[in-house]
Chain A
Amino acid sequence: MKLPGVREFSWREVATEARLLLIGIPVFLWTMIPIYHMFLFAISPKEDAFSGKLWPDHPTLHNFEIVFKQQHYFLRDFYVQFWNSTLIAASVGMLTLFIATAAAFSISRLKVPGGRMVLNLALFTYFIPAAFLAVPMYRTMGNYGLLNNHWALILAMVTIASPYAIWVLKQASDKLPVELDEAAVMDGATTLQIFRLVYLPLMMPSLVAIGTYAVLLAWNEYLYAFLLLSNDREITLPVALGNFLAADDSPWELLMTTGFIYALPPAAVYYAFRRYMVGGLTAGAGKS
């Protein structure tokens, strides 16, 4: 690559690089500042956090110790709430996968009568803003006697996650060749065997993407969680974080520490499954 006249060439390179950096550095700062600020609070004693320092004089893990030992009024049910979040996210992930895979198989492979209409209804639900559905959903859960019960949040989140899940899975299964099913039928496979032995293995990448999507959606949900659950031992972590604000002199350093701990699992899950997520999800949302 070393050619004569390399100096002139590299000056142009430097100018291009500088212009890219001129965008890159603000993008980096913009992205990181709120997250760094949260991290800063988590490792700062209260005095340092409240004095606007960009790095604490005495960085400490004391805040984490308080959270993990539940040594504060707002944190007395930390482990129960963490467990609630985990359980609800896992249940939503599994139920959504079950319901959506069955529906997508039925619509796309079995060509069930009316399948197209169900798909359109699901798509319609997908476009209704979730905060609008929250109001009647709250009252409905009351009518069903499910308020303050984990099932209320699980079912609500499954309702919200399924339409998109069905749609993405349907798109993915349309791409599987029809001949596969036909060959399996020739070999005398029953519908359920096709589902289990042919369909599920081939759909694995999309299933991973959708499972991750549903789990993250449920773990991150705040509005539905605080409407449907209120008892301190039933609520999920985000609701507990919101409750910190009830006091005038909220322990913000503990709030940020708990928030940091709460934000770690979804970030880890996202990066672990990024490969699947980017392919599976943008294929759906970005279809033009």
Chain B
Amino acid sequence: MAITLSGDQAIPGPPLSSRLTPAQVWGIILLAPYLLVFLAFVVYPVCYGLWLARAPENYVALYNDPIFARAAVNTLIFLVIGINIKMLIALLLSGFFAQQRTWIKWLSVIFILPWAVPSIPTILSVRFMLNPEWGVINHLIFSFTGDDGPNWLNDPTVALSMAIGVHIWKSLPFWTLILITGRLAISHDLFEAAEVDGASWWQKFRYITWPSMQTLYVTCTLLSMIWTLGDFNSVYLLTGGGPADLTHVLSTLGIRYLRLDQLSLAMASIVCAMPFVLPLVYFMMKRLSR
């Protein structure tokens, strides 16, 4: 972009300061606060972090750490399975919430609550519900069957599934809301015409809804994947990475290394995620910065 700008001003001219209009001087002054924040709290930390992670030994240590391999697999499961389930449900619910009913309007107001309230108390609430001795779920199982319920969070597969469930609970409303706006943007005439032609709901979805929503849907899925990489709360507050450090994802693993005072290892584990993150980020930027 800088090239096109200097192209306009390519005539060899007086020094920079006198070439700028007063408005541009103000522009630079008003942009300065953000640039300062960006340099001090993004550029410096990132460079410093990369410098810390420079030694190859770190990557050997990571390679030999079974917890890292497990965390990488868990992260992949979280993203590939968790996010796709979430977005599919959001797509279905966006159709439900687009119905014109008073009670559905009210339900949509309630439905947004998980996103509007902070995650700490609600995730801890779920955590206690799953408590094997005192949690309400196992109390109910006992009163109906007379058997003790399972020790939910003590099984790594169940615990990770529950963490994915908590993540879905928290962020489903947001993505549903966005898909609703996408759905409401579709011209109503199309559906009326399809109605007249006697199209089934599947045909309406297949030939009207999906073609106009697929770009939005894919964008949302990718964006959600990038952000979910940074979802620390769902795993940390529900399982704490346990049992036996088997449910860590990359974001909680980084913090685990940090707390064990292995900062370079923490940075190295993040650097390892970059080959996956950067293409996604690049793709999203191309899409959004048009």
Contacts and interface: CB of A to CB of B under 8 A. Distances in A.
B220 interface: yes
Contact of A110 (B26, B52, B114): B26
Interface in B12-33: 20, 22-24, 26-28, 30-31, 33
A127 B114 CA distance: 23
A129 B134 CA distance: 35
Contact of B26 (A38, A51, A106): A106
B41 A159 contact: yes
Contact of A282 (B110, B119, B178): B178
Contacts of A23: 93, 96
> B28, B136, B258 — which one has the most chain A CB atoms within 10 A of its CB?
B136
B33 A135 contact: no
A255 interface: yes
Contacts of A127: 226, 280-281, 284-285
Interface stretch (A62-70, A76-84, A94-102, A203-211): A94-102
Interface string A160-195: 001000110000000000000000000000011001
A51 to B, nearest CB: 7
Contact of B233 (A115, A121, A223): A223
A118 B33 CA distance: 12
B288 interface: yes
A112 B134 contact: no
B128 interface: yes
**Chain B interface extent, by class:** 35 or more
B216 A139 contact: no
Contacts of B1: 114, 116-117
Interface string B117-148: 11111101110110000111011100000000
B145 to A, nearest CB: 14
Interface in A35-71: 35, 37-38, 41, 50-52, 54
B231 to A, nearest CB: 7
Given A37-B136, A120-B285, A223-B232, A263 B122 contact: yes
